[in-house]
């Protein structure tokens, strides 16, 4: 039991202080020390004892008291002890400073510096002060100054042990800090020399010196000797944790299972001896991470963190923690720890792994910029690290920098030509720009995988399938998709081996009971990596028109993955295609329940709502929501907003021209906006063309339409039938009827399988304008056949037949056949009009009964006239035939006679020459007379005709004038155009045969398309003239716009989805 | 189950061929005749084996023929034109037997009762099926199509527009298809409306009952689908898709195993009813295929199956079905 004896002043007595039983309150001791004026070394001993016992405060109290000014005064000549006390305090603060963080750290270092300086003032040659200063400098990281301090001591005393150790450690640390490997080695060697000197100086030095030697050797690369040194340390001090850990690490680095196990044992022992060794803790954590004991990892790393201030070790600890959370899926926490780990590292060369983890997590959070920076740090250290390169490639792809992404992945394939993943990525990146290259890369990937004997991943086959799909190689696409999907419930569904007994499943898309029932009998499994492929396969089936199976697959997807929003939308699209609007809206509603901001769903809903009178206003909201949710970057939603504005401008109920202009302006702005983002957008160009057409700026519109038409003709994926129609409309408006007809016909055939009655109506109108009555009539009959319930078409057929008859009767020359046909056509027209007339009492198809009556009356009138004509013509024909017969017989007789004469002439040649001549002349005269007779006979019904001839000329004159006017007006504004149309149409009745009505079928037909959307027969024949100009203009404009432009716009809404669908 | 092209006649009519029907073999005529009607306002008759013209074209079908039906006895047939007259004529001579109309409305699809006692016609905008007796050609009944409960209001505000009719082979059921896709089913014996069959939402232009299962109805619709209904039990029992455009016509093979369809996608397809799958696609026509018809059994060469198709491209085709 150690004790100290404080001599009692003035006596021989001493106070015994048992060091084990130092009073808790240091003041008690201090009082004694002060009272007895105890020698200073006793103060130091007692303070040191407090320190050993962990009573830091007491330690400090005594030393601070022992270094106070009173002491300095009193013990002025006791130099060494005073210096020792000050140095002890300096060392104490250095220690505190090392343990603390800034700014506390600085305070301690400052205190330490002050104490050492005071010690130096007492005796500046005292080596222990210099050593203290040196250590302070080491703590502060000022190696050069530390080295200088130690050198001062060593210059005095070459074998000063602490100075040697200090200097050795300075060199070692300088080695650690040195960037250049060679210089670093130099430092380690110096360090090693010093350690050796220290050992020579003190043969029985503590194990720590040998540890230093061992570390130096390790650093220099003398691994065996390092190992020997470590082992020697352990012999001297079997519980030396550092040596244990060092040996363990060397074991772990051997990469041999047995040795590694031994290493781990050592590590564990080190941990048992001293559970706060950060290095050991990190390694253990690493080990347990791989064995999957995350809880242990966390515990170990937490201890490691609290027990170390070493940056790299802390970084490793944080990394372990981060990795553990990462693997558990808690990426937010993991991210925080990765960041902590990265913060502890000065340069990525020290420890690069956390950058990988951090990069991955940033990637996951979509923080591409930061993630990119992280992976680039990794590349600084390992420029050919394929994983990082691939990550960077993915980031570029996500940032839309496809070129850079492709470059990066190409680099990967150069570094590792067997990296199938990189090939897959390349393939996917090139899908849009370079079909062939994409296919090549994907196929390479597939070959690589096959060679490696690995299973081709679903995504790869899916990619290949999609490529074929895009090239319209449906069979090959189907093969790929099927290979990707493999065996599964979908096959049984496809070949009807299950579920065929289920009733009415194929129309009730939202009724999933079929699958519920099915699930009770067979396990319904759909692995999540196959969902996308299944979806694509369903899209393919749709493309192959097998919508029944496609819809089943979509529903299977929804049954298993209720959040697969696109499946709902495809079902909605199918329902819409089948005209089941209600169901389609409900399905879109389901999709919006999953994501109320999903732009595709909003767009679809909007275009459905646009078609209904009740909901067209809300459609705008949908489009706007879709636009907002894509931050205005989605051309489709902008386009739809543009179309909506255009639609709104042409709505019949919006009468104010101001609104119209605003809507039209807005539409134009939106279209231009789309074009700015996407200069190749044909739909936007088409929209702008329409707006120009509305203003009768034919040339600009035509130019635009022609360009779009050409672009669209070259593309397999984008179909813009509207532009064909619009172009045809322009031809029509410019009077180029032949071209218009051709354009309409091509459009019908190319895009609509000849099933679009509206285009047939446009076609018939063009024929009508071109006065090709038969073609007009046939087009209309076809249209009726396609759209039986459209009575307007019937009316127009009636008009076309009436018009045909009237024009035939006006002809100056006509055959009996023509007149007969006229009669038949008039009978047909009367039949058609009469049926309509009766039907209108029965049926509200919107025609004015009176007007139909007028038509019937007019046709009957015409028919009477025609019958007269026919009879006359038939009579004339009869007479003609008779006269022809007579003439023929006469001619025949003459011929016979002439031959007889010739015979005779031959015999009586000379004698009867004169007679013969005379006779021939007579014959000729007779023939002339016959001819004359023919001429007059064909003029017999002339009287009736005169009037019609006159009318005809009149009408022709009107027509010419009208056309001239039209051309002139074309250059003018829309309003004037409207008026001109009014003129044009008003002219029409006047060239009719009989002036029964001012509102003839001609007028009716011109406006025909109007009545597709608005109830027909708006205008009353009598009201026509009284119509106020404003409304007349309005009406006419509408006639034009609705017939010509409105439909195409609706078409655009319908057809543009096909483009987006493909991109899905 | 397959089709093999036998013969095609290009320019069979001067204009688009819109209707076709087989007049079965009769006592005086040992083979069936194919009748076709077209936009050129004629009805023509063709020999069953080589599609040679059997008689000169019968004119006067004003505005174009949209539907044809032959009486099961093979003597007479009915043709519907766009002028809304049904012209009943003698198949061999072409002589007019009767001219029917159903004012105020137009007429679309027509079908004879399987026993030939009545003629049913889809009454278009009148929203009804009209029936005539085939002896005196007097109207028997007009069966209105009721609006289904909770039906969506039509855009035009008008009632149903009826396009097609079909009799079940036992004559007990009569089905009628309309523009809006609903199919009305009647008890043809008591002339009573039974129920609607739902599932289509676009015009149903053609329907046919199975010859082997008199409840099973096949429908062709503009939605590009073929539906199979149990017309008696009011249930949809199957759907088949594959046509790229409207399905314009449908007929069932005499053995009841297959149906053939004609579509505006210019193809004729053959479907295996049991497999619910398309087994063959014929692409010989270059425009809409408005009519397909299996030759009815009976007469010479009864064992050989024949299918005829008629198209907007003015041609008609004959196939061997086996």
Reported as a single tens digit per residue, the pLDDT across A571-589 is 999 999 888 888 899 999 9
User: Shortest CA distance to A310 belongs to which of A273, A282, A334?
Assistant: A282
How confident is residue A342, by pLDDT bands cut at 50, 70 and 90? confident
pLDDT at residue B6 in the model: 93
- Residue A96 in tokens: 């505190």
Higher pLDDT, B180 or A20: B180
Let me know: does B21 contact B32? Beta carbons within 8 Å: no
pLDDT at residue B64 in the model: 94
Q: Give Cα separations from B142 to A27, A707, A735, B80, B121 (angstroms).
A: 123, 56, 49, 17, 10
Let me know: does A254 contact A224? Beta carbons within 8 Å: no
Inter-chain CB proximity A753 and B246 less than 8 Å? yes
Q: What is the rounded distance in angstroms from the CA atom of residue A354 to the CA atom of residue A374?
A: 9
Least confident of A175-189, A308-322, A783-797, B37-51: A308-322
Within 8 A of B156 by CB-CB distance, chain A residues are 789, 844-845
Inter-chain CB proximity A788 and B243 less than 8 Å? no
Question: Residue holding tokens 């194990």?
Answer: A207
> Is A784 in the B-facing interface, judged by CB distances under 8 Å?
yes
Mean pLDDT for the stretch of residues B221-232:
93
How confident is residue A1006, by pLDDT bands cut at 50, 70 and 90? very low
pLDDT at residue B220 in the model: 96
Within 8 A of A788 by CB-CB distance, chain B residues are 106, 108, 124, 161, 163, 179, 203
Mean pLDDT for the stretch of residues A134-142:
82
Strand B43-47: give its sheet, edge to edge: B17-23, B33-38, B43-47
Task: Say whether A753 sits in a helix, a strand or coil.
Answer: coil
Inter-chain CB proximity B179 and A789 less than 8 Å? yes
Nearest to B179 among A788, A828, A844 (CB): A788
pLDDT at residue A103 in the model: 74
**How close A574 comes to chain B (CA, Å)?**
10
Chain B: residue whose CA lies nearest to A778: B39
pLDDT at residue A223 in the model: 81
Question: CB atoms < 10 A from the CB of B291, how many?
Answer: 24
pLDDT at residue A1033 in the model: 35
Helix or strand run (H / E) with residue B304 = none
pLDDT tens-digit series, residues A36-82? 777 888 888 888 888 888 788 888 888 888 888 777 777 777 778 88
DSSP summary character for residue A1046: I
pLDDT at residue B249 tops 70: yes
- Residue A15 in tokens: 């106070």
Render A1028-1045 in DSSP notation, one character per residue. Answer: -HHHHHHHHHHHHIIIII
> Is A831 in the B-facing interface, judged by CB distances under 8 Å?
yes
Greatest mean pLDDT among A314-323, B137-146, B158-167 lies in: B137-146
Helix axes A757-769, A737-752, angle to 10 degrees: 170
**Opening angle at CA A26, ends A24 and A31, nearest 5:** 130
Q: What is the rounded distance in angstroms from the CA atom of residue A82 to the CA atom of residue A63?
A: 10
Render A786-822 in DSSP notation, one character per residue. Answer: HSTT-HHHHHHHHHHHHHHHHHHHH-SS--HHHHHHH
Mean pLDDT for the stretch of residues B242-248:
95
DSSP summary character for residue B124: B
Inter-chain CB proximity B156 and A789 less than 8 Å? yes
Inter-chain CB proximity A838 and B199 less than 8 Å? no
pLDDT at residue A158 in the model: 79
Top CATH class of A487-596 equals: mainly alpha
Q: What is the rounded distance in angstroms from the CA atom of residue A890 to the CA atom of residue A893?
A: 5
How confident is residue B300, by pLDDT bands cut at 50, 70 and 90? low
Least confident of A7-11, A164-168, A782-786, B244-248: A7-11
Dihedrals φ, ψ of B176, to 5°?
-140, 125
pLDDT at residue A497 tops 60: yes
Q: What is the rounded distance in angstroms from the CA atom of residue B264 to the CA atom of residue B257?
A: 24
Chain B: residue whose CA lies nearest to A503: B237
pLDDT at residue A987 tops 70: no
Inter-chain CB proximity A845 and B158 less than 8 Å? yes
Chain B: residue whose CA lies nearest to A791: B125
- Interface pTM (ipTM) of the complex? 0.95
Least confident of A188-197, A253-262, B107-116: A253-262
Percent of chain B with pLDDT over 70: 95
Within 8 A of A582 by CB-CB distance, chain B residues are 152
Render B143-211 in DSSP notation, one character per residue. Answer: EE-PPPTTPPPPSS-----EEEEEE-TTSSEEEEEETTS-EEEEETTTTEEEEEE-S--S-EEEEEE-S
Given the candidates 1.25.40.10, 1.20.1250.20, 1.10.287.3510, 3.30.565.10, the CATH classification of the domain at A356-409 is 1.25.40.10
Within 8 A of A831 by CB-CB distance, chain B residues are 62, 83-84
At B161, which CATH number?
2.130.10.10
pLDDT at residue B256 in the model: 92
Q: What is the rounded distance in angstroms from the CA atom of residue B48 to the CA atom of residue B301?
A: 10
pLDDT at residue A1015 in the model: 31
Percent helix, percent strand, percent coil in chain A, to nearest 5: 75, 0, 20
Inter-chain CB proximity B82 and A791 less than 8 Å? no
pLDDT at residue A550 tops 70: yes
Inter-chain CB proximity A824 and B198 less than 8 Å? no
How confident is residue B154, by pLDDT bands cut at 50, 70 and 90? very low
Task: Say whether A636 sits in a helix, a strand or coil.
Answer: helix
Q: What is the rounded distance in angstroms from the CA atom of residue A465 to the CA atom of residue A476?
A: 7
pLDDT tens-digit series, residues A606-646? 888 888 878 888 888 888 888 888 887 778 888 888 888 88
How confident is residue A941, by pLDDT bands cut at 50, 70 and 90? very low
**How close B223 comes to chain A (CA, Å)?**
5
Dihedrals φ, ψ of A31, to 5°?
-55, -45
Higher pLDDT, B235 or B21: B21
**How close B239 comes to chain A (CA, Å)?**
7
Question: CB atoms < 10 A from the CB of A432, how many?
Answer: 11
A294 Cα distance to chain centroid:
38
- Per DSSP, helices labelled H in A908-1021 are 913-938, 942-970, 974-990, 1001-1006, 1010-1013
DSSP summary character for residue A457: P
**How close A564 comes to chain B (CA, Å)?**
24
Higher pLDDT, A668 or A953: A668
**Number of domains within chain B:** 1
pLDDT at residue A851 in the model: 80
Q: What is the rounded distance in angstroms from the CA atom of residue A932 to the CA atom of residue A301?
A: 127
How confident is residue A995, by pLDDT bands cut at 50, 70 and 90? very low
How confident is residue A528, by pLDDT bands cut at 50, 70 and 90? confident
pLDDT at residue A360 in the model: 82
pLDDT at residue A461 in the model: 85
pLDDT tens-digit series, residues A592-601? 999 988 888 9
Inter-chain CB proximity B84 and A835 less than 8 Å? yes
Average pLDDT of every residue of chain A: 76
Q: What is the rounded distance in angstroms from the CA atom of residue B219 to the CA atom of residue B225?
A: 8
CB pairs under 8 A between A and B: 131
Task: Say whether A166 sits in a helix, a strand or coil.
Answer: helix
Least confident of A316-325, A658-667, A686-695, A756-765: A316-325
Domain ranges of chain A: 356-409, 417-471, 487-596, 894-944
pLDDT tens-digit series, residues A462-471? 888 888 888 8
Chain B: residue whose CA lies nearest to A1014: B156
Let me know: does B199 contact A504? Beta carbons within 8 Å: yes
The half-sphere exposure of A539 on its side-chain side, counting CA atoms within 13 A, is 26
pLDDT tens-digit series, residues A670-711? 898 888 888 888 888 899 999 888 888 888 899 889 888 888
Nearest to A754 among B39, B223, B264 (CB): B264
> Is A547 in the B-facing interface, judged by CB distances under 8 Å?
yes
Q: Which of the residues B41, B67, B106, B181 would you substitute to probe the A interface, choosing the one with the greatest number of A C-beta atoms within 10 Å?
A: B106
Q: Which of the residues B101, B125, B148 would you substitute to probe the A interface, choosing the one with the greatest number of A C-beta atoms within 10 Å?
A: B125
Q: Which residues of B87-122 are buried (b: 16+ CB within 10 A; e: fewer)?
A: bbbebbebeebbebbbebbbbbbbbbbbebebbbbb
Inter-chain CB proximity A782 and B16 less than 8 Å? yes
- Residue A200 in tokens: 């020579």
Least confident of A161-170, A217-226, A304-313, B283-292: A304-313
pLDDT tens-digit series, residues A777-801? 999 999 999 999 888 898 899 999 9
Q: Which of the residues A541, A546, A764, A789 would you substitute to probe the B interface, choosing the one with the greatest number of B C-beta atoms within 10 Å?
A: A789
How confident is residue B100, by pLDDT bands cut at 50, 70 and 90? very high
Domain region containing B120 = 3-321
How confident is residue A812, by pLDDT bands cut at 50, 70 and 90? confident
Inter-chain CB proximity B242 and A754 less than 8 Å? no
Within 8 A of B179 by CB-CB distance, chain A residues are 788-789
> Is A511 in the B-facing interface, judged by CB distances under 8 Å?
no
Greatest mean pLDDT among A22-26, A752-756, A913-917, A956-960 lies in: A752-756
Within 8 A of B223 by CB-CB distance, chain A residues are 577-579
């Amino acid at each position: 039991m150690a004790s100290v004896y404080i001599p009692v002043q003035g006596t021989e007595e001493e106070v015994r202080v048992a060091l084990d039983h130092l009073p808790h309150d240091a003041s008690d001791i201090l009082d004694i020390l002060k009272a007895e004026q105890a020698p200073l070394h006793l103060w130091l001993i007692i303070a040191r004892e407090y320190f050993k016992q962990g009573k830091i405060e007491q330690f400090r109290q005594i030393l601070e008291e022992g270094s106070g000014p009173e002491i300095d005064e009193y013990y002025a000549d006791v130099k060494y002890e005073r210096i020792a006390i000050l140095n002890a305090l300096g060392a104490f603060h250095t220690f505190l400073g090392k343990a603390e963080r800034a700014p506390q750290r600085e305070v301690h270092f400052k205190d330490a510096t002050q104490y050492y300086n005071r010690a130096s003032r007492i005796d500046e040659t005292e080596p222990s002060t210099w050593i203290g200063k040196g250590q302070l400098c080491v703590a502060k990281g000022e190696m050069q100054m530390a080295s200088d301090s130690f050198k001062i001591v060593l210059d005095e005393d070459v074998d000063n042990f602490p100075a040697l150790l200090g200097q050795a450690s300075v060199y070692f640390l300088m080695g650690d800090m040195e960037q250049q490997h060679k210089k670093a080695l130099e430092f380690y060697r110096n360090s090693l020399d010093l350690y050796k000197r220290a050992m020579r100086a003190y043969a029985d030095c503590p194990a720590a010196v040998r540890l230093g030697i061992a570390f130096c050797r390790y650093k220099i690369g003398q691994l065996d000797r390092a190992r020997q040194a470590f082992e020697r340390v352990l012999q001297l001090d079997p519980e030396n944790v550092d040596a244990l850990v060092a040996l363990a690490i060397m074991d772990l680095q051997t990469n041999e299972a047995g040795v590694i196990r031994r290493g781990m044992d050592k590590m564990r022992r080190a941990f048992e001896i001293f559970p706060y060794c950060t290095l050991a803790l990190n390694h253990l954590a690493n080990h347990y991470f791989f064995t999957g004991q995350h809880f242990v990892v966390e515990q170990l790393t937490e201890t490691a963190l609290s027990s170390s201030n070493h940056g790299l070790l802390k970084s490793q600890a944080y990394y372990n923690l981060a990795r553990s959370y990462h693997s558990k899926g808690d990426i937010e926490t993991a991210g925080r720890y990765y960041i902590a780990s990265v913060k502890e590292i000065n340069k990525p060369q020290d420890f690069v792994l956390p950058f990988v983890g951090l990069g991955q997590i940033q990637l996951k959070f979509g923080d591409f910029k930061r993630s990119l920076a992280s992976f680039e740090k990794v590349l600084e250290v390992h420029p050919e690290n394929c994983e990082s390169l691939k990550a960077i490639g993915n980031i570029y792809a996500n940032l839309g920098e496809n070129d850079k992404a492709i470059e990066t992945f190409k680099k990967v394939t150069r570094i590792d030509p067997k990296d199938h993943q990189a090939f897959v990525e390349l393939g996917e990146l090139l899908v849009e720009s370079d079909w062939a290259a994409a296919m090549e890369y994907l196929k390479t990937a597939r070959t690589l995988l096959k060679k490696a004997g690995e299973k081709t991943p679903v995504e790869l086959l899916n990619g290949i399938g999609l490529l074929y799909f895009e090239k319209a190689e449906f069979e090959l696409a189907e093969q790929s998709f099927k290979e990707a999907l493999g065996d599964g419930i979908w096959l049984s569904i496809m070949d009807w081996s299950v579920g065929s007994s289920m009733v009415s499943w194929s129309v009730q898309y939202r009724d999933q009971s079929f699958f519920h029932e099915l699930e009770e009998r067979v396990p319904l499994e759909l692995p999540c990596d196959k969902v996308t492929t299944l979806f694509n396969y369903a899209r393919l089936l749709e493309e192959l028109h097998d919508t029944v199976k496609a819809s089943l697959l979509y529903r299977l997807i929804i049954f298993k993955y209720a959040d697969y929003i696109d499946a709902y939308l495809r079902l909605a699209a199918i329902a819409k295609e089948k005209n089941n609007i209600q169901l389609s809206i409900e399905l879109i509603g389901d999709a919006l329940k999953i994501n109320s901001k999903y732009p595709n769903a909003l767009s679809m809903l909007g275009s459905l709502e646009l078609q209904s009178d009740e909901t067209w206003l809300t459609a705008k909201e949908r489009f706007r929501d879709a636009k907002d949710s894509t931050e205005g970057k989605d051309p489709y939603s902008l386009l739809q907003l543009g179309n909506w504005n255009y639609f709104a401008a042409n709505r019949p109920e919006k009468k104010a021209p101001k609104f119209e202009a605003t809507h039209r302006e807005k539409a134009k702005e939106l279209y231009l906006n789309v074009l700015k983002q996407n200069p190749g957008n044909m739909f936007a160009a088409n929209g702008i063309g329409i707006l120009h057409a509305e203003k009768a700026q034919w040339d600009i519109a035509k130019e635009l339409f022609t360009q779009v038409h050409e672009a669209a003709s070259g593309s397999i994926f984008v179909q813009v039938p509207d532009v064909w129609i619009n172009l045809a409309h322009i031809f029509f408006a410019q009077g180029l009827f032949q071209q218009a007809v051709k354009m309409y016909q091509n459009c019908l055939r190319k895009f609509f399988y000849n099933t679009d009655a509206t285009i047939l109506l446009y076609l018939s109108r063009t024929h009508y304008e071109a006065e090709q009555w038969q073609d007009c009539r046939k087009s209309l009959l076809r249209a009726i056949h396609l759209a039986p319930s459209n009575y307007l078409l019937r009316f127009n057929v009636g008009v076309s037949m009436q018009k045909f008859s009237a024009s035939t009767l006006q002809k100056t020359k006509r055959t009996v056949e023509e007149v007969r046909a006229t009669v038949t056509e008039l009978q047909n027209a009367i039949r058609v009009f009469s049926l309509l007339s009766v039907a209108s009492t029965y049926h509200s198809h919107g025609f004015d009964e009176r007007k139909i009556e007028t038509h019937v009356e007019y046709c009957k009138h015409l028919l009477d006239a025609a019958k007269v004509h026919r009879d006359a013509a038939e009579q004339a024909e009869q007479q003609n035939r008779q006269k022809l017969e007579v003439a023929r017989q006469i001619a025949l007789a003459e011929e016979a006679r002439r031959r007889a004469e010739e015979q005779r002439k031959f015999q009586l040649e000379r004698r009867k020459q004169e007679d013969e001549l005379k006779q021939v002349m007579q014959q000729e005269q007779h023939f002339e007379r016959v001819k004359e007779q023919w001429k007059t006979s064909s003029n017999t019904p002339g009287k009736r005709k005169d009037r019609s001839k006159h009318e005809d000329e009149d009408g022709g004159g009107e027509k010419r004038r009208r056309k001239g006017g039209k051309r002139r007006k074309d250059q003018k504004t829309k309003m004037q155009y409207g008026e001109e149309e009014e003129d044009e149409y008003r002219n029409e009745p006047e060239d009719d045969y009989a002036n029964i009505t001012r509102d003839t079928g001609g007028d009716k037909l011109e406006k025909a398309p109007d009545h597709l959307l608005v109830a027909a027969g708006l205008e009353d024949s009598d009201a026509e003239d009284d119509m106020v100009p404003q409304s007349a203009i309005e009406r006419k404009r509408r006639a034009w716009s609705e017939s010509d432009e409105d439909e195409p716009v609706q078409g655009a809404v319908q057809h543009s989805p096909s483009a987006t669908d493909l991109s899905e | 189950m397959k089709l093999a092209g036998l013969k095609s006649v290009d320019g069979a009519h001067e204009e688009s061929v819109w209707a076709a029907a087989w007049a079965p073999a009769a006592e005086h005529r040992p083979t069936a005749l194919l009748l076709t009607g077209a936009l050129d306002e004629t009805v023509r008759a063709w020999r069953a084996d080589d599609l040679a013209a059997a008689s000169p074209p019968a004119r006067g079908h004003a505005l174009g023929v949209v539907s044809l039906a032959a009486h099961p006895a093979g003597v007479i047939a009915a043709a519907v034109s766009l002028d809304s007259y049904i012209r009943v004529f003698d198949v061999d001579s072409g002589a007019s037997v009767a001219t029917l109309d159903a004012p105020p409305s137009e007429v679309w699809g027509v079908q004879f009762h399987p026993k030939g006692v009545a003629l049913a016609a889809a009454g278009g905008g009148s929203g009804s099926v009209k029936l005539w007796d085939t002896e005196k050609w007097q109207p028997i009944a007009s069966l209105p199509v009721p609006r289904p409960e909770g039906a969506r209001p039509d855009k035009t505000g008008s009632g149903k527009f009826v396009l097609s009719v079909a009799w079940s082979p036992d004559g007990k059921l009569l089905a009628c298809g309309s523009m809006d896709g609903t199919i009305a089913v009647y008890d043809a014996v008591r002339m009573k409306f039974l129920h609607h069959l739902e599932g289509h939402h676009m015009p149903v232009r053609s329907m046919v009952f199975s010859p082997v299962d008199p409840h099973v109805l096949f429908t062709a619709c503009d939605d590009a689908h073929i539906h199979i209904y149990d017309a008696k039990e009011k249930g949809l029992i199957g759907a088949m898709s594959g046509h790229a455009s409207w399905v314009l016509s449908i007929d069932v093979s005499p053995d009841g195993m297959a149906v053939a369809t004609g579509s505006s996608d210019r193809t004729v397809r053959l479907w295996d009813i049991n497999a619910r799958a398309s087994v063959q696609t014929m692409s010989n026509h270059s425009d809409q295929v408005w009519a397909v018809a299996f030759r009815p059994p009976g007469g010479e060469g009864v064992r050989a199956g024949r299918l005829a198709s008629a198209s907007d491209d003015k041609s008609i085709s004959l196939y061997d079905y086996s």
